[in-house]
Chains A and B, each alone.
Chain A
Amino acid sequence: MISALFYLQFHSVKNRLTIRLKRLKQPKYLLGAIVGGLYFYFYFFRFLFARSARPGHWNAARPMTDALPPDPIFYESLGALILFVIVFLAWFFPRKRAALAFTEAEVAFLFPAPVGRRGLIHFKLLRAQLGILFTVLIFTLLSGRFGAGGHWLTRAAGWWVILFALNLHFIGSSFALTMLMDHGISTWKRRVAVIGLALAALGVVGAWAVREFPELKTANLANLDSMIGYLKQVLVSGPLPYLLYPFRLVVKPYLAPDGLAFLGALWPALLLMATHYWWVIRSDVAFEEASVEASQKMAEKIAAVRAGKMGAAGKKLKSKRPPFALHPGGAPFVALFWKNLISAGTAFTTRTWVILAMVALVMGFSLLNSPGASTWPAVMGMMSGIFAIWALLLGPQIMRQDFRQDLPQADLLKLYPLRGWQIALGEILAPAVILTGVQWLLLILATTCGVPLSRGEFSAGLVLAIGASAAVVLPALNLISLIIPNAAVLLFPSWFQTGKDAPHGIEATGQRLIFALGQFLAFIVALIPAAGVWAGFFFFVKYLAGVVLAVPVASVAAALVLALEAGLGVMLLGWLFGRLDLSAEQLA
């Protein structure tokens, strides 16, 4: 049985690699692979092998202990704490029965076959090794790139221990949770018990910390350094290192300073993993039915991703109220704008807003003590300005409710009785309007916060003039920044394919790099005429009437140039869409 499973895995991997290598005959994959390969080598791989011999060099070889503070227990406990949180979540959140993820093909072949329950689990563990080894490679490259010391082999082996131990624990915990469900213990009862245990452990540590350390003072929490210092003390002494001992065993091999220490740390970790393996194998829990259901859901997600329907591949979509009433009369392209606004609405989930709020908070705190931002209004003004710039540069890559989303539906768009430029305009308006709206809000905030702080050369009038000028220029600028990636998609649609023929891995990274660079250069070139007009008007009006008037006048002139460019860009997009031959690209 195991030999059959090895056969399946070996030939699957071999054939997949062969297909990808054969694909390199096509320029789009070859170019992507070359650029991606160079990027990965220069950014990651050379740090893995080519350590500098010069002792003072930033990339000099050094033992793992050089990257760590003198007390290794701190990092062991910190790593163990992270693992503890992960394991806590694995026991707290799940609501469904244990399901081992098999593909539909594996379910179809293996479940009816004379393969016992143990065989299926072994197959699952064996297959998981591919993903684990790939993740080990990524983590080893990342940790090596960002300064972790020690030999890369011990780092890689250490990551393997951590990831495989977690994998085994997740399977074991899912079986245990299913057993609890089978014995009538509801999800909420279980969650209360898990939280209770965690709180009990926290209580023990807290009680000890309160008794052992001086009263907590607000000054201790005034800055990050003192908070870290306090945390260090709690992590390296008292009951916490003992409570986290099993997790420390898993982390220890990764943090071993040399080969001998690694071997010494390895055997207890392997023993722990062997215990987990015994636990998983001995659990008498039925997972087959849930696994079949899970495999169907996975197949649907994969099919959705291959069809380019990324939204459908993720969480369940919810219907959204339309942003405005769409009447049957009027310009037809507005229907596309309306449709894409609805689509964009599905992207702004509660989770998105929470993440944005957290980023803003972290940024705000870190800016609070920086020069020129000693008060919260100054911080908010600065942050708003930074976010507005990010929205301009990164927004078009995030807001993709245009041809990039609808390319798989190109045949549907081709059916509509609309001219090419109408389809193009309808497609790119939604992200342009959303980005402009967000940027205007940020500009209002930045200007409002900036005016009271204005002094010297930066008078209130100038701050207002800059804000208003940016607001005038941004709509056309957003349109141009969206036209460029959409033109790339229509010029090279097969480079943006989803599905089985889509590039993966190194080729995908290389292609993205090529397009990112190309789009950046195209954007710079597009700005040149407007920049020239702006400069000309600015210096002329400044000479006549001063800076405060020169900025908005120059910006209006530049905005007109940008609007003209955007109009021509829309016509170009329409022409490109009209000549898009779906039969050649096999997109539909």
Chain B
Amino acid sequence: MIEVQGLTKLYGEFVAVNELSFSVQPGEVMGLVGPNGAGKTTTLRCLAGIIPPTRGAIRICGSDLAQDPIPAKKQFAFLTDEPRLFDYLTVWQHLNFVARIYQVANYEPIASSLLAELELADKRDKLPGELSRGMKQKLAIACGLLHSPKVIYFDEPLTGLDPFGIRRMKDSILKRARGGAAIIISSHLLHLVEEICSHILILKNGRKVINGTLAEITQKFSQQPGDANLEEIFFRATSEPPAPPPIVADATKT
């Protein structure tokens, strides 16, 4: 569903992404993790067609993103941590607009269902300025999912959501993966990635450190089964110094 071959992005002499290759099949949820500046957001923006790669090929559902972008773009949605909305369109008008862009026939029941799922049903006539940050995030998600994309990119999907929203977001991601979507999640929240991702790709300095299922990368980086969680594996894979032990109050002193 998502095939990336030799993706490279240069900013002058700075290499943001270097010869990155991977694939994500329908039903898979790939966690894209890495330290700050590893190239995660640059990778996602290249996959979304927002910025052109310097080299490499990206195919979405069989369509080359560079050569045949229109069919490719019809298949995916890109949901960022910062909701991108039009200040002068109401919630419902956003969905109406997206339905026309993506030619979603009979969009009203889908839109109503999404709004109900995301607890925005009573905000149909509100402008983004009248919504809280979490609600804006939910609206952006509703707009992204309206055309039932087969490929979804999430960049820090839980930012701004309350605990209920977080639970619903996780359930929604898993539901769509079970429905056959190929999903990439970029996040620093390793426990989230560990919980819902079937595959992990660790980036560092624009290069792939490892790509595989959680079991595969655990096997590679742990000395014995079960001795490390994803956080520990991440530190080992990216060769960061181990985190300092937590400070525990001395119970003998009063």
A positions within 8 Å CB-CB of B: 309, 311-312, 316-320, 322, 326-330, 332, 334-335, 338-339, 342-343, 345-346, 409, 411-412, 414-419, 581-584, 588
Contacts and interface: CB of A to CB of B under 8 A. Distances in A.
B212 to A, nearest CB: 29
A317 B49 CA distance: 32
A411 B84 contact: yes
B179 to A, nearest CB: 21
Interface in B127-180: 127, 129
Contact of B50 (A322, A326, A332, A411): A411
B73 interface: yes
Contacts of A319: 88, 90, 93, 125-127
A338 B70 contact: no
A416 B73 contact: yes
Contacts of A322: 93, 96
Interface string B176-201: 00000000000000000000000000
Interface of B: 9, 11, 42, 45, 48-52, 69-74, 78, 84, 86-90, 93, 96-97, 99-107, 125-127, 129
5 contacts: A319-B127, A326-B100, A411-B45, A418-B101, A582-B51
Contact of A409 (B74, B78, B86, B105): B86
Nearest to B42: A583
A339 B86 contact: yes
A419 B9 CA distance: 23
A319 B51 CA distance: 33
B81 to A, nearest CB: 13
Contact of A311 (B74, B84, B88, B105): B88
A326 B96 contact: yes
Given A317-B127, A417-B70, A417-B74, A312 B87 contact: yes
Given A346-B88, A582-B50, A335 B78 contact: no
Contacts of B42: 583
Nearest to A410: B50
Contact of B105 (A329, A335, A345, A588): A329
A583 B70 contact: no
Nearest to A320: B88
Given A581-B51, A588-B50, 11 more contacts: A319-B90, A322-B93, A328-B106, A328-B107, A329-B103, A332-B101, A342-B88, A346-B88, A415-B73, A417-B70, A417-B73
A412 B143 CA distance: 12
B100 A330 contact: yes
A424 to B, nearest CB: 15
Nearest to A579: B52
A434 to B, nearest CB: 15
Contacts of A311: 87-88
A339 B129 contact: no
Contacts of A316: 129
Contacts of A329: 103, 105
Contacts of B106: 328
B70 to A, nearest CB: 5
A317 B129 CA distance: 8
A581 B52 contact: yes
A444 B73 CA distance: 45
B114 to A, nearest CB: 15
A347 to B, nearest CB: 9
CB-CB nearest 9 A-B residue pairs: A335-B100, A417-B73, A583-B51, A328-B99, A417-B74, A312-B87, A411-B50, A343-B88, A414-B50
Given A322-B93, A415-B48, A581-B52, A312 B100 contact: no
B84 A312 contact: no
A72 to B, nearest CB: 51
B48, B96, B125: most-surrounded residue (chain A CB, <10 A): B96
B88 A328 contact: no
B100 A332 contact: yes
Contacts of B101: 332, 335, 416-418
Nearest to B104: A328
B84 A339 contact: no
A320 B87 CA distance: 11
A339 B89 contact: yes
A415 B129 contact: no
A491 B103 CA distance: 30
A423 to B, nearest CB: 10
Contact of B100 (A327, A411, A583): A327
A584 B14 CA distance: 12
Contacts of B104: 328
A334 B104 CA distance: 14
A342 B86 CA distance: 10
B71, B86, B103, B127: most-surrounded residue (chain A CB, <10 A): B86
B102 A417 contact: yes
Contacts of A414: 48-50
A472 B103 CA distance: 33
B164 to A, nearest CB: 26
A328 B105 contact: yes
A328, A414, A418, A588: most-surrounded residue (chain B CB, <10 A): A328
B87 A309 contact: yes
Nearest to A322: B93
Contacts of B50: 411, 414-415, 582, 588
Contacts of B127: 317-319
A582 to B, nearest CB: 5
Nearest to A583: B51
Contacts of A345: 88
A328 B103 contact: yes
Contacts of B90: 319
Contacts of A416: 73, 101-102
A394 to B, nearest CB: 23
B136 to A, nearest CB: 12
A342 B100 CA distance: 15
A343 B86 contact: yes
Contact of A419 (B70, B84, B88, B96): B70
Nearest to A325: B96
Contact of B70 (A328, A418, A582): A418
A401 to B, nearest CB: 9
Nearest to B74: A417
B109 to A, nearest CB: 12
Contact of B11 (A317, A343, A409, A583): A583
Nearest to B140: A412
Contacts of B102: 332, 416-417
A423 B25 CA distance: 31
Contacts of B45: 411, 582-583
B140 to A, nearest CB: 10
Nearest to A330: B100
A312, A316, A415: most-surrounded residue (chain B CB, <10 A): A415
Nearest to A311: B87
A334 B100 contact: yes
Contacts of B49: 414-415
A141 B87 CA distance: 38
Contacts of B107: 328
Contacts of B72: 417
Nearest to A585: B51
Contacts of A415: 48-50, 73, 78
A190 to B, nearest CB: 30
A415 B51 CA distance: 10
B122 to A, nearest CB: 15
Contacts of A582: 45, 50-51
Given A411-B45, A416-B73, A417-B73, A332 B103 contact: yes
